[in-house]
Amino acid sequence: MSMTIGKKTTGEKLFDAFNVAVLSLFAITCIYPFINVLSISFSTPSAANAYGLKLIPKDFTLGAYKAVFENKYIWIGYANTIVRTVAGTFLNVVFTVMCAYPLAKRYLPNRNFFTFLFVFTMFFSGGLIPTYLLIKGMGLLDSRWVLILPGLINAYTMVIVRNYFMSLPEEIEESAKMDGANDFRILFSIVLPVSMPIIATIALWYAVAHWNAWFDALLYISDPDKTVLNTVLRKIVIEGSSQFQSFDTYDPAKTESVTPDIIKSATIMVATTPILLVYPFIQKYFVKGVLVGSLKG
């Protein structure tokens, strides 16, 4: 009697080989642009402008990074982005939890109606111009709070947290109430300690969203000292703004001179490297966040 358990058939092997080939090709198409930008950022102008694939820096130089780090708007953008990410993530998590917890209670009057109002905003919004007029009417233009308050609670994230709270055993809270604990004591002393997986997940979601955000700063912030890193990156790379490109013009006679394209590549690397270094360590939480808190009730 032959043992065939665990052995793959020829069709399964071909299918696996096809999957590996397709996914490898897809990975290469995603990785190559990043490697190309990295290589250009470390290359001299003559090497960067040469034809051919640029996988390894030629005529290695740090001139572009020296120029980038001497640009004060890069550091201003970094500082504003870090402040936004830390403060925004903290407030997002606090208010999301405070909103989701009562909506998870079956005894809350009109609970389904209030939940519907949040879900409704996931599909319909007032539009760009009405939102801008609202922000202006609230006096938030050119304020750092405009980067945090309008998106204080994300509807989708709130629903995920709500459903997670609903999956917790009700007996735990009932026993705490019998001991005289109020809702705030139950939330902070009982519910939150056992909900750290979902709290960590939404904190990472909010943090990555704040770090990558740029459009709201572009719309509502006009003061260069209050703009965020990704807006600075956009103005340098796409708009070529002279206000943010405080770099020396290219001079072939100078060995440390760099072209605008090399400056753009170095700026992209400076702006994206922090989140690229962090993401591999938090990817499992993103995957877990998709599974945890699935729709219920």
Q: Which two tokens stand for residue 231?
A: 């807006």
Mean pLDDT of all residues in 4-24 = 84
Q: 260: pLDDT confidence band, cut at 50, 70 and 90?
A: confident
Q: Which two tokens stand for residue 60?
A: 């290695």
Alpha helices (H) in the chain, listed in sequence order: 10-41, 45-48, 63-69, 72-103, 111-120, 128-137, 155-167, 170-178, 183-186, 196-212, 215-220, 229-234, 260-291
Q: Which domains does the chain have, with CATH numbers?
A: 10-69+247-291 (no CATH), 72-225 (1.10.3720.10)
Q: At what angle do helices 196-212 and 155-167 cross, to 10 degrees?
A: 170
88-139 confidence digits (pLDDT tens): 999 999 999 999 999 988 888 998 899 999 989 888 888 889 999 999 999 9
Q: 23: pLDDT confidence band, cut at 50, 70 and 90?
A: very high
- Give one word for 109, left, alpha or beta, with left for phi > 0 and alpha for psi -120 to 50: beta
- Dist CA 38 CA 271 (whole Å): 12
Find all residues with CB under 8 Å of 181, minimum gap 6, and list them: 189, 190
230, 210 contact by CB (below 8 A) = no
Mean pLDDT of all residues in 239-251 = 51
- Dist CA 126 CA 267 (whole Å): 35
196-228 confidence digits (pLDDT tens): 888 888 888 898 899 888 899 989 998 888 889
If one counts every other C-beta atom within 10 angstroms of the C-beta of residue 38, the result is 19
Q: What is the mean pLDDT of the chain?
A: 82
Whether this prediction's pTM lies above 0.85 is answered by no
- What is residue 237's DSSP assignment? I
**What is the percent of the chain with per-residue pLDDT over 90, rounded to a whole number?**
23
> What residue type is 255 in one-letter code?
T
164-194 confidence digits (pLDDT tens): 888 888 887 888 888 788 888 888 888 888 8
